[in-house]
Amino acid sequence: MKLKSWQEIPIGGIIINAGNSRENKTGSWSDKNPQIDTEKCAKCYRCISACPEGAIKKDKDGNVVINYDYCKGCGICAKICPSKVIKM
């Protein structure tokens, strides 16, 4: 499935059809991207629960990964990280 860019989303970013957020690639809106030092990550997963976009998940090994297709670069994950291993 090809994801829509921000230019293809309806004016104002309004999502007309409920439940279609996976179809709208909003990560291109960001000008900063969080980078995680997975070697130093304590795996507390606070970043996962704090992410307003649901762009942060655990992989099969329990490592934190960011889906940059949906991350808008708000920086909340970096601010909430007690280990300070997420940099913007």
CA-to-CA separations, 84 to 7, 54, 59, 61, 88, in angstroms, rounded: 34, 20, 20, 21, 11
Which pLDDT does position 42 carry in this prediction?
Answer: 96
Whether this model's pTM surpasses 0.85 = no
The larger pLDDT score, comparing residue 37 to residue 9, is at 37
The domains of the chain, with CATH numbers, are: 11-87 (3.30.70.20)
Measured CA to CA, the distance from residue 26 to residue 37 in angstroms comes to 24
* Predicted local confidence at residue 30, as pLDDT: 73
Burial classification of residue 52, based on how many CB atoms lie within 10 Å of its CB (0-12 exposed, 13-18 middle, 19 or more buried)? exposed
Instruction: Report pLDDT digits (tens) over 26-67.
Output: 666 677 899 999 999 999 999 999 998 889 999 999 999 999
d(C-alpha 88, C-alpha 25), whole Å: 20
Report residue 3's pLDDT band, with 50, 70 and 90 as the boundaries: confident
